[in-house]
Structure 1
Amino acid sequence: MKFNKIYLAVGLLSSVLLSGCATDVKDCDPNSGDVSIVTKFNCQYSGTYQKRIDDKKIILENETALNAEFKATMAELEKEIAAQRADLNQANSTNSALKAKLNQLLATLKAKTTDNAQIQASINAIQDEIENANPNASVIEKQIKLEELRSKLSSLEADLGLAS
């Protein structure tokens, strides 16, 4: 009888151990729920837990490298945006200065030509163009328009013999 019990215990133990050898990677997921002690032992013994840890480390390293690339790209984009803003601010200040000079020139021409109605009409037309300029136009369009108006004023000034 003792002999049968030993065979029974050995058979039972071997079946438990052999059933544990048939563990799947999904069975070794610690998040999968209640896992038996035999399955945990087999996962540890077969190296499945360590392989899972190594795989997660590789994924983490790849994601970290990708994140660093994204941060570097973002920094470059922010530098580019800052440079473009500086260029835009410079162009806006140049356009504002040009517009101020045009208005000053218009005022001077108006003061010097108060007796000539045709010149006054031309000056008023140019002044209307300045005031009615499209505020939503691009900086380059504004600059081109202001340069055209400046050219008109300069030619008007030259026609009057007022050019300095």
Structure 2
Amino acid sequence: MRPAQVVFGPLVARVMNGAAGRYTQFPNALHRRNMITLKDHLYFAKATAEGAGRNGIVKSTGDSPLELKLAMPKVAAGKGDGQNPEQLFAMGYSSCFLGALQLAASRADQKEMAENAKITASVFLGHPTDPDMDGFGLRVELNVEGCDDDAIIQAAHDVGSPMHSDNPAHR
């Protein structure tokens, strides 16, 4: 298992090497996520939230419509009888990173390296350590199983980076 940690604003990623739990910083992991302008789009998704905010309903239309009841987790003084945005974010992030990992392995002519990979994303909601920042922040920890190649894992991080010139979606 190879955990990586991502903190949004600025983005920081780490990967654990070896069973001893030694963390190493990715060389170009410190990015600020920038706004970009798309020349076109490959896919369009739309979601609508209504009701009592984090205790309301969220709906997505399109190829496979989805409707979920939202609920604050019990640990945050909620009922915990529905999904929460952090769960949905973790699901999306893990699936996107798996796709990026498989693409990076394929580009390296090592497609088999990531065929059976499994990505687990843990999303943490909390207060920033910087006393000058208000509100909440997210920390994301990614665990990569089934792919032990640090170069391919780094390349997967780069696939989603707006700073990476090989990503055609960000040109």
Give the TM bin, normalised by the shorter chain. under 0.3
Report which of the two structures shows the higher radius of gyration computed on alpha carbons: 1
More strand by share: 2
TM-score normalised by the chain length of structure 1: 0.28
Greater relative CO (CA pairs within 8 A, separation 6+): 2
TM-score normalised by the chain length of structure 2: 0.27
More helix by share: 1
